[in-house]
């Protein structure tokens, strides 16, 4: 593990396995430091874990419908590892690889080289994830990738947080605002149909602050399909290469902690930890239960290779992929 500590004593720990975040220790409104990133007690538990806790999935985060992929006129069949669809790059994915590590002042650089044909994706791809931890409690993640042949890529970090403490229990009472007025309608297996629907007047609406779980039991297809939120939203005001500030803001009235996420990514996946039960033991000596953490994954749209109307996730030689995510932690 690599530990990055700032001048106030707040710190993050990072792992070469999946270039993962294993803790984010920040103060509450009283100044008490506590980890808010869901984490396992045993470092070995991160290998092949179902929740993909805190790691960078790839080559393609989220779903590709039926594992069907066409790149540069050639069809590829990817593994079907989530119902009838391909998820997070396949059974192994980037999240279960040990990345090369290089520390530098205030940060760490993880590098992974994915061979042509790995998980049946085309092209030799080099991926770099750089984390930086600032004195004002901002965790920055810049992800870049290059390839020697046309391929697809979609990178994010699958961090789960509970602003009252990583092992404090149900997180559905925390308050969320999203800069997203449209969401991506899915089939019952959570793969996009291609329709971007307005959130207004539906339980999908977080354009005004509300409790994460306020509408989670609503009689609404998307919430029934996923047993809660496991849905992609289009980021309002997104333009390629532009950092959109405060795409998501999560707040706890109990601890006073606030997490504001800014990003260059066109979309976000909101996942309310609907299937955390049975995960490996956490530092409290128990498994997490469903809804004990919230994941807000800034990313490209799922199944974009099969939906030309979505922002493209095609990666070409000579045209590097570059995306940034910034997690800012404050109190209120």
Would you name the residues annotated as active-site residues? 158, 297
Q: Which two tokens stand for residue 142?
A: 């810049």
- d(CA 102, CA 86) in angstroms, rounded, equals 31
Q: How far apart are CA 198 and CA 301, in angstroms?
A: 16
CA angle 295, 76, 68 (to 5 degrees): 50
- Phi then psi for residue 43, to 5 deg, are -55, -30
Contacts of 321 (CB under 8 A, 6+ apart): 143, 144, 145, 146, 153, 155, 315
Indicate the helix (H) or strand (E) that contains 297: strand 294-299
- Please name every residue paired with 175 in a beta bridge, in sequence order, or none if there are none: 211, 251
Encode 44-67: b = buried (16+ Cβ within 10 Å), e = exposed.
eebeebebbbbbbbbbbbbbbbbb
DSSP state, 311?
Answer: P
Check if the beta carbon of residue 302 is closer than 8 Å to that of residue 62. Answer: yes
Cα–Cα distance, 11 to 9 (Å, whole number): 6
Nearest residue to 161 (alpha-carbon basis) of 332, 327, 49: 327
The closest alpha carbon to 55, from 80, 88, 6, 79, belongs to 88
Which strands sit side by side in the sheet containing 2-5, from one edge to the other?
2-5, 11-15, 20-27, 33-35
């Amino acid at each position: 593990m690599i530990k990055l500590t700032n001048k106030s004593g707040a710190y993050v720990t990072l792992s070469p396995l999946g270039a993962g975040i294993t803790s984010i220790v920040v103060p509450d409104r009283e100044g008490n430091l506590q980890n808010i990133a869901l984490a396992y007690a045993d470092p070995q538990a991160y290998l092949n874990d179902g929740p993909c806790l805190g790691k960078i999935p790839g080559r393609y985060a989220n779903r590709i419908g039926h594992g069907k992929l066409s790149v540069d006129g050639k069809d590829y069949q990817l593994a079907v590892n989530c119902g009838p669809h391909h998820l997070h790059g396949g059974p192994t994915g980037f999240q279960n690889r040990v990345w090369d590590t290089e520390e530098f002042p205030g940060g760490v650089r993880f590098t992974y080289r994915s061979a042509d044909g790995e998980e049946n994706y085309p092209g030799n791809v080099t991926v770099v994830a750089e984390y930086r931890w600032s004195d004002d409690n901002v965790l920055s993640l810049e992800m870049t990738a290059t390839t020697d042949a046309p391929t697809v890529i979609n990178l994010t970090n699958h961090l789960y947080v509970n602003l009252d403490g990583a092992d404090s229990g149900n997180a559905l009472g925390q308050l969320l605002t999203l800069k997203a007025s449209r969401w991506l309608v899915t089939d019952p297996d959570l793969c996009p149909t291609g329709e971007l629907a307005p959130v207004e007047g539906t339980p999908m609406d977080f354009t005004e602050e509300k409790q994460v779980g306020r509408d989670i039991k609503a009689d609404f297809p998307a919430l029934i399909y996923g047993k809660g939120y496991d849905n992609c939203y289009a980021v309002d005001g997104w333009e390629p290469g532009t950092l959109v500030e405060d795409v998501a803001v999560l707040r706890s009235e109990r601890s006073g902690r606030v997490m504001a996420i800014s990003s260059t990514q066109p979309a976000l996946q909101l996942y309310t930890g609907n299937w955390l039960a049975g995960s490996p033991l956490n530092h409290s000596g128990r498994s997490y239960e469903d809804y004990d953490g919230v994941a807000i994954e800034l990313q490209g749209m799922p199944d974009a290779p099969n939906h030309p109307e979505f922002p493209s996730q095609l990666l070409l030689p000579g045209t590097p992929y570059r995306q940034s995510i910034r997690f800012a932690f404050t109190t209120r």
